[in-house]
């Protein structure tokens, strides 16, 4: 599971707390990949609306039919949301709903231009069935557009299909990956976490630590159809950083190097007519 190790300097003490691995090189919003590696892919990807977090990646998304006067929303992984100052991941079955926060982020206008944004609330976060978090920003879509000339991606309301060509664009690493949806996995198990209807990629999307939360974009569109979150590092079965696939009959398989994303369309089952999240709605399919 992709995430980071938190580093904080208090007086002269370096305190760290492990999230999941492989970790991002540093937990630092000012991280630039040129400081870490000279071999970053320079292929031309669309970066408008891609978000850099201190430990992960994300995207500025807008729900279908959502008003431009609404507070803007950033999509990332649930495991990218620290539970407290010293980090720690959400437990199976746990959710965060409408939690006030103060989290700085950066948003890309283009590949070379990063601007500041600020999140004031975690609308929702979970690592159960899927791995997603929705941050509410301090500005509306209109205000962001006026200040930065950046438009959001649209979050797709329909489940994607196999063989769909995709791009995974990482704000943390400032690079993209191209591949396709290889297949859907009935159950993906990683340590104590269980994800349902996960997306397995074809070769080409060799995501690494720090790409957690990157949007999965249908190639040639500005539609986010899912979210990147994990990979099998060493071929072990069902351990941290080594998710295993469990099919409908209970057969378990695990292949080193396979990489996965999680579904996001089910968010719509929990939205009211004015695009507010309500977990009590009939048919809401998110973890409650």
Do 148 and 238 belong together in one domain? no
- 190 assigned to some structural domain: yes
pLDDT of residue 17: 32
Instruction: Name the CA dihedral angle for 145, 148, 152, 153, rounded to a multiple of 10 degrees.
Output: 150
**pLDDT per position as a tens digit, 210-255:** 999 999 999 999 999 999 999 999 999 999 999 999 999 999 999 9
Is residue 60 domain-shared with residue 140, that is, in the same domain? yes
Q: How far apart are CA 176 and CA 238, in angstroms?
A: 27
Q: In the structure, what pLDDT confidence band is assigned to residue 206 with cuts at 50, 70 and 90?
A: very high
Report the number of distinct structural domains present in the chain. Answer: 2
Where does the pLDDT of residue 36 fall: very low under 50, low under 70, confident under 90, or very high at 90 and above? low
| Local structure of 212: helix, strand or coil | coil
Per-residue pLDDT tens over the stretch 141-179: 999 999 999 999 999 999 999 999 999 999 999 999 999
**Same-domain status, 169 and 251:** yes
Is residue 30 a part of any domain in this protein? no
Residue 10 domain flag: no
pLDDT, residue 16, reads 31
CB neighbours of 216 closer than 8 A, spacing ≥ 6? 160, 166, 167, 168, 199, 224, 225, 226, 227, 228, 261
Single residue among 104, 133, 155 that ends a domain in this structure? 155
- The pLDDT value given to residue 105: 98
Do residues 37 and 106 make contact, with C-beta atoms less than 8 angstroms apart? no
Instruction: Label residue 272 left, alpha or beta by phi (over 0 means left) and psi (-120 to 50 means alpha).
Output: beta
Burial environment of residue 84 by CB neighbours within 10 A (0 to 12, 13 to 18, 19 or more): exposed
Any domain includes 36: no
Question: Is residue 142 located within the same domain as residue 170?
Answer: no
Residues shown for the chain: 288
Q: Is 0.85 surpassed by the pTM of this model?
A: yes
Indicate if 144 and 179 belong to the same structural domain. no
Residues 50, 125: one domain? yes
139 and 172 in one domain? no
Q: Which domain holds residue 114?
A: 19-24+42-155
Whether residue 213 lies inside any domain: the answer is: yes
d(CA 132, CA 112): 27
* Residue where a domain stops, chosen among 134, 155, 176: 155
Residue 286 lies in a domain: no
Q: Is there a domain that residue 133 lies in?
A: yes
CA atoms within 13 A on the CB side of 228: 36
Segment 7-25 mean pLDDT? 40
Do 130 and 219 share a domain, yes or no?
A: no
Task: Using alpha carbons only, give the angle 18, 20, 25 rounded to the nearest 5 degrees.
Answer: 75
Question: What is the rounded distance in angstroms from the CA atom of residue 13 to the CA atom of residue 63?
Answer: 43
**49-96, pLDDT tens digit by residue?**
999 999 999 999 999 999 999 999 999 999 999 886 667 889 999 999
């Amino acid at each position: 599971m992709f995430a980071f190790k938190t580093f904080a300097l208090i007086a002269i003490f370096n305190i760290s707390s492990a999230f999941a691995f492989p970790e991002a090189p540093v937990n630092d919003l000012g991280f630039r990949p040129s400081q870490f590696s000279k071999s970053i892919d320079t292929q031309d990807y669309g970066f408008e609306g891609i978000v850099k977090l201190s430990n992960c990646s994300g995207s500025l998304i807008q729900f279908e039919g959502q008003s431009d006067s609404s507070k803007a929303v950033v999509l990332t992984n649930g495991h990218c949301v620290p539970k407290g100052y010293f980090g720690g991941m959400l437990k199976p079955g746990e959710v965060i709903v409408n939690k006030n926060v103060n989290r700085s982020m950066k948003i890309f206008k283009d590949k070379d231009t990063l601007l500041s944004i600020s999140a004031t609330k975690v609308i929702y976060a979970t690592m159960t069935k899927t791995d997603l978090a929705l941050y509410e920003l301090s500005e509306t879509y209109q205000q962001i557009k006026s200040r930065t000339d950046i438009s959001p991606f649209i979050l797709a309301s329909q489940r994607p299909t196999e063989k769909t060509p995709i791009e995974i664009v990482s704000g943390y690493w400032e690079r993209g990956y191209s591949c396709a949806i290889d297949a859907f996995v009935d159950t993906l198990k990683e340590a104590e976490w269980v994800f349902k209807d996960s997306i397995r990629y074809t070769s080409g999307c060799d995501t690494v630590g720090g790409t957690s939360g990157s949007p999965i974009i249908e190639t040639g569109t500005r539609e986010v159809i899912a979210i990147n979150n994990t990979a099998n590092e060493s071929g072990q079965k069902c351990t941290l950083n080594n998710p295993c696939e469990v099919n409908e009959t209970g057969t378990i398989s695990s292949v080193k190097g396979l990489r996965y994303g999680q579904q996001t369309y089910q968010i719509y089952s929990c939205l009211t007519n004015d695009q507010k999240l309500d977990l009590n709605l009939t048919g809401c399919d998110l973890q409650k």
